[in-house]
Amino acid sequence: MDVLPMLMIPALLMLAPVLITALVLRYRRTRAEMRYQFLLKLAETGSALPAALPGEATPQACDRRRGLVLMAGGLGLTATLLALPLQYHHGHPLAELWGLGILPVALGLGYLGNWYLTHRGSARE
């Protein structure tokens, strides 16, 4: 009976982000379908289509936002792993895994670098 709670808690913790991601992706798909249906109705009635499609973000803003979110998440993960007082079975502290937070930080820096380079190039023109 002690094994069931030990398996259920990690399973629920890993399932929560998957469910959140599925809900977000479903919302985005529904929103995109509604946008395309609106544009189809405009085209069927013969109205002029708008110059900028409604609801679409610019890639530069997306890169900046992704970069900031990844950096914040990576720093938060690193701080969380360093602060947790938990230990493995053999006495190793969980704080040894702090390096896992460096990957999202590095990805965030890459997105911010991409945003900066594209923004700098468009400012010159």
In eight-state DSSP terms, residue 55 is T
Enter the pTM of the model. 0.51
Mean pLDDT, rounded, for 37-56: 78
What pLDDT, on the 0 to 100 scale, is given for residue 125? Answer: 55
Q: Are 100 and 81 in contact (CB under 8 A)?
A: yes
First to last CA, the chain: 68
Mean pLDDT, rounded, for 116-123: 76
Phi (first) and psi of residue 51, to 5 degrees: -65, -45
What is the tens place of the pLDDT at every residue in 75-91?
A: 998 888 888 777 777 77
Give the pair of three-digit tokens for residue 5. Answer: 């709670």
Distances (CA, A) of 79 to 31, 51, 56: 35, 45, 34
